[in-house]
Amino acid sequence: MVRTAAAHELNIAGFTPFSTVDWPDTLAATVFLQGCPWTCFYCHNPALIDPRAEGGVAWSEVVDLLCDRIGLLDGVVFSGGEPTLQRALVPAMEAVRALGFRVGLHTGGAYPGLLGLALPHVDWVGLDIKALPGDYDLVTGRPNSAENAWRSLELVLGNRLLRAGSRRPLDLEVRTTVHPAAIDDAHLRALGCRLADAGVDHWAVQRFRAAGTRVPLPRVSDAEASNLRLDDLPVERFQSLVVR
């Protein structure tokens, strides 16, 4: 029998009490969870990758801070690392909802099984789809990572469809980080078309930023450097397509 986890077992690396950038148009607190199975070369939180590292923030501290912010915040985002690595995620989401907050989730979709259990408790998902399936492992640094990520996209889209028109719809933003060693302009356009075909209507294309990443980064020649322009992307296929 699988032992169930409790919210206080969450391994929490950090907590941001007020954020306007982690959930679009929502004032949120953000809980950063320790551990990720992947090792993307462009990761901005490499200290959060090791799942054995002790995060250092107690769940009780998070709850106390959230209790002080009832009425001031709209929601709480679980970020990482990869939040769906931890079985305590679902009870933590339930606790957050019980305090009256909406729940957001940042995920790369590495664990569709736990993602499926979490989705009924989630109001908004920021899902990283990093590349076309054939290019995925180059980005994540781990074999066979594409299958889970793309399966997770199916799960989220299916859950969103089930909840469409309900009092608790599920909102979704798919995100792709652009670094020439991860995805070139042609593949980015092809990825956009594939996402649109799958039913994604909000896509955020995020320019790579070196701050916080590990070194050395893959070398990129001038010829490979992206001249990313919105005009080159299938803008007409999305309700919103933003380049950040």
Question: Which residues of this protein are in contact with ligand SF4, per CB under 6 A?
Answer: 36, 38-40, 43, 45, 49, 80-82, 108
Smallest gap from Cβ 141 to ligand SF4, in A, equals: 8
Smallest gap from Cβ 177 to ligand SF4, in A, equals: 8
Could you tell me the two tokens for 197? Answer: 């075909």
Smallest gap from Cβ 239 to ligand SF4, in A, equals: 25
Alpha-carbon gap, residue 244 to 241, rounded angstroms:
10
- Cβ distance to ligand SF4 smaller for residue 56 or 141: 141
Smallest gap from Cβ 189 to ligand SF4, in A, equals: 22
- Cβ distance to ligand SF4 smaller for residue 206 or 226: 206
> What is the number of other CB atoms lying within 10 angstroms of the CB of residue 165?
7
Alpha-carbon gap, residue 160 to 153, rounded angstroms:
11
Smallest gap from Cβ 222 to ligand SF4, in A, equals: 26
Residues 6+ away with beta carbon under 8 Å from 1: none
- Cβ distance to ligand SF4 smaller for residue 73 or 104: 104
Residue among 27, 20, 19 nearest 72 (CA): 27
**Torsional sign, CA 131, 134, 137, 143:** positive
In sequence order, which ranges of 69-164 are alpha helices (DSSP H)?
A: 89-98, 112-118, 136-140, 145-163
- Cβ distance to ligand SF4 smaller for residue 26 or 34: 34
Strands 124-128 and 171-178: parallel
Residues 6+ away with beta carbon under 8 Å from 69: 17, 18, 29
In sequence order, which ranges of 20-144 are alpha helices (DSSP H)?
A: 59-68, 89-98, 112-118, 136-140
Smallest gap from Cβ 74 to ligand SF4, in A, equals: 24
Smallest gap from Cβ 55 to ligand SF4, in A, equals: 14
18 three-class SS:
strand
